[in-house]
Structure 1
């Protein structure tokens, strides 16, 4: 039944495209340019609806938008057009438009038009623009998706709507934005989140900078990179996996506070929380530590949420999240003990593998102590952390760029912020001892030789920068896409990225 309905849909679709192409040619034959160069717009749907008053003098407007409905009734036609702000009804009359009224038969849902006229209220109470003149601005030759229904032999209503398919919506975001205008609000809010972050960071005197995306040595995180080739230099380069090492070079150079909001790239799997191209904020502030950064982070996210949503209590899925500071702070090993019943602190690699087997956590034979602990934490602890939580004090094996804990040298001064089971932030008291940093890089190189493709490489120039001296520094990374997910109540990262990566179309 579904295959039959699908075939019928495409037959109708092809006929509609053929008819629209014929209409396009007829418009040209009549001397009408269906794709003109400009149109004078002086009003938008939302402000017309908001400002119209029956007792006010007549309001003349010039608006433009996409036709979303047409109701032809002989010598009168009603339509709704959608602009960037919303929808409004427009009203065509033959005795006003004359011969130009007859050209309306060549217009379809999806066409973009400009109209001029006075605003009035219909007998049914709807604010409407009475059209004195109109112009075709773009003829749509591909029909917008609309719901198709059929009743089967058992009387069941079957709906075939090609644009409820998530994959099609992500591939054809331009259509998604047209037929699901509420989607646009997510991305308007995303832009406001980013601009608010910038405003707050700038108000603290931190300098926004740009660092290389193409890097000869990738680093700053444990991830597999994308590789490309520079023809003129005849050398391989890597798309950055993090901004960290270049930003810390600037702290060495004398900046007290720098940040970057930009794209990072990791050649890894895709799921509801991962896209190979994603947006990160990284911030580094000299003479601060991770304790200071915890207070700064909760204040930053709280204030962004307050300015964007008007409240610090938000809905995410089935949970209500309260972002009001202070947030809970819990050591990582304490959480591991709470949710697994196992004490993982100080255990050897073999002991950790045995614990993972008991807990039914599958771990690769190619990874070391840090990754084993991370796998157990991600699978058995992280999903339970719903309210904003600072997970603090990580094992040194998990954090090759973080400073050793001042009272527990087998740990580092690091925190992650977990909200609704998602890692949103990662931060350190930054490692500024060049000898310790070289040792950590060499340990990462050993793990790479063991088969861990995500282990870091040795960056000799970064070590050289540290040898000149880097002041005590606090660093922070925030996954912008995940933060937007939480602040807009979107369950997958693809719903907050305009053009997420997809497999090739068949």
Structure 2
């Protein structure tokens, strides 16, 4: 089935209208934030596109996510906010599920935790799929803790680095020197080889990650309070129970700067506007990002982003 024609544009328009309708009905504030920023994102494994003016005097970066800007809105007193943003990531070509530019839905709601955000995503996908005439038939989404998946599919009862390295050596998952790998590298060698291929062809929430992978989420009871939503082995969504402690955030940014340097990547200064927003204070909240192109593809039962975009070859 290939919808890369007028029908695609009509369905995609209806899809986006349905997403906006969902959040409008729940009194979320839609805002639009800059796509071009002076400072790039800090994530070690994401690379933004740099933009240079003809005079060579102005430099900026296309956003990999609107997260920092949306949190600035939270610090102004907004309790429920969302954006449908064009986002850009270098090195994302080469698979059926990646493009250098893609459409991201990102939303934040105060006073809900991960469980509430999972419920909201289920409602969103159920409503939107029904609105475009492709209702999903899964009555509820699976929910698995990371530790449960590691136990069931990798026979691991612990996620400490020694346990991960032992399993990697046992199964010969890489020929690289493990001493040169980060904790996250080791985790994903296990997850991508032993867990992800065995996920069911259904919507599945995976939550409570190792604390070493907290990123911008809080850590509680030894777990990073975050989740990802998969459909089969396709990642659709990422969510954090958001960190509010500005000093802890500075510490994590410093660690990410060191890792980017170790990886031989451009090291960006800390985003002062974002840190100021944390200093001013953001509410207790959960934030969610969803790749809308992938979600559209999954709802339509298709297998490639090429099938849902007439512009596939132009990006």
Give the TM-score normalised by the residue count of structure 2.
0.89
More strand by share: 1
> What is residue 346 of structure 1 aligned with on the other side?
160
Tell me if 1:392 matches 2:215. no
TM-aligned CA distance change 1:417 to 1:367, over 3 Å: same
2:85 to 256, 262, 271: 262
Tell me if 1:446 matches 2:258. yes
- Note the 1:236-275 alignment, pairs <5 A: 236-270=59-93, 271-275=95-99
2:57 to 234, 247, 261: 234
> What is residue 129 of structure 2 aligned with on the other side?
305
TM-aligned CA distance change 1:417 to 1:225, over 3 Å: same
1:423 to 227, 235, 246: 235
- What displacement does 1:189 show? 1.8
TM-aligned CA distance change 1:260 to 1:228, over 3 Å: same
2:46 is paired with a residue whose SS is coil
- Note the 1:11-50 alignment, pairs <5 A: none
- What displacement does 1:342 show? 2.5
For residues 283 and 175 of structure 2, the distance between their equivalents in structure 1, rounded to whole angstroms, comes to 38
> What is residue 402 of structure 1 aligned with on the other side?
217
- Higher RCO (CA-CA < 8 Å; seq separation 6+): 2
TM-aligned CA distance change 1:202 to 1:344, over 3 Å: same
Q: Tell me the matched-pair count.
A: 309
- What displacement does 1:367 show? 4.2
Is the 1:444–1:457 contact (alpha carbons within 8 Å) kept by the matching residues of 2?
A: no
For residues 279 and 251 of structure 2, the distance between their equivalents in structure 1, rounded to whole angstroms, comes to 14
TM-aligned CA distance change 1:182 to 1:373, over 3 Å: closer
For residues 310 and 481 of structure 1, the distance between their equivalents in structure 2, rounded to whole angstroms, comes to 15
Give the RMSD, CA atoms, in angstroms: 2.4
> What is residue 213 of structure 1 aligned with on the other side?
35
- What displacement does 1:242 show? 0.6
> What is residue 151 of structure 2 aligned with on the other side?
337
Larger radius of gyration: 1
For residues 175 and 112 of structure 2, the distance between their equivalents in structure 1, rounded to whole angstroms, comes to 36
For residues 312 and 489 of structure 1, the distance between their equivalents in structure 2, rounded to whole angstroms, comes to 10
TM-aligned CA distance change 1:202 to 1:181, over 3 Å: closer
> What is residue 22 of structure 2 aligned with on the other side?
200
For residues 417 and 429 of structure 1, the distance between their equivalents in structure 2, rounded to whole angstroms, comes to 15
> What is residue 23 of structure 1 aligned with on the other side?
none
Q: Which runs of 5+ in 1 are unaligned?
A: 1-179, 314-321
> What is residue 248 of structure 2 aligned with on the other side?
436
Give the TM-score normalised by the residue count of structure 1.
0.57
Moved more, 413-422 or 227-236: 227-236
For residues 283 and 240 of structure 1, the distance between their equivalents in structure 2, rounded to whole angstroms, comes to 16
For residues 263 and 243 of structure 1, the distance between their equivalents in structure 2, rounded to whole angstroms, comes to 9
1:474 to 269, 280, 286: 286
TM-aligned CA distance change 1:387 to 1:464, over 3 Å: same
